[in-house]
Amino acid sequence: MNVNRRDMLQLLACSGLGLAAFRPSIVSANPNEDIIVPPRLNPGDTIGLVSPAGITRSKTKLKIIEETLEALELRLHVDEHAMDRWGYLAGKDEVRAEAINQMYKNPEVDAILTFIGGWGCARLLPYLDYEMIQKHPKIIMGFSDVTALLLAIYAKTGMVTFHGPSGRSGWNTFTVDYVKRLLFDAEAITYKNPDDKGDNLTQVKDRIQTITPGTTRGRLVGGNLSVLTALMGSDYLPDWKEHILFMEDVGEGIYRIDRMMTQLKLAGVLDEIAGFVFGKCTDCDADSGYSSFTLAEVLDHHIKPLGIPAYRGAMIGHVSNKFTIPLGVEAEIDADEGTIRLLGAAVS
Please provide the DSSP assignment of 129-149 as one string.
-HHHHHHS--EEEE-GGGHHH
The active-site residue out of 51, 144, 166, 226 is: 144
Please provide the DSSP assignment of 288-326 as one string.
--TTSPBHHHHHHHHHGGGTS-EEE--S-SSSSS---EE
291 has catalytic annotation: no
Q: What is the dihedral sign for C-alpha 59, 60, 66, 68?
A: negative
> Which H or E run includes 216?
strand 215-224
* Rounded to 5°, angle at Cα 301 from 298 and 303: 100
Cα–Cα distances in angstroms (integers) from residue 86 to residues 67, 82, 96, 99, 236, in the given order: 27, 12, 11, 15, 25
The active-site residue out of 302, 318, 330, 332 is: 318
243 has catalytic annotation: no
The active-site residue out of 98, 242, 248, 332 is: 248
Instruction: Give the CA count within 13 Å in the CB-facing half-sphere of 177.
Output: 11
318 has catalytic annotation: yes
Which residues are part of the catalytic machinery?
Answer: 144, 248, 318
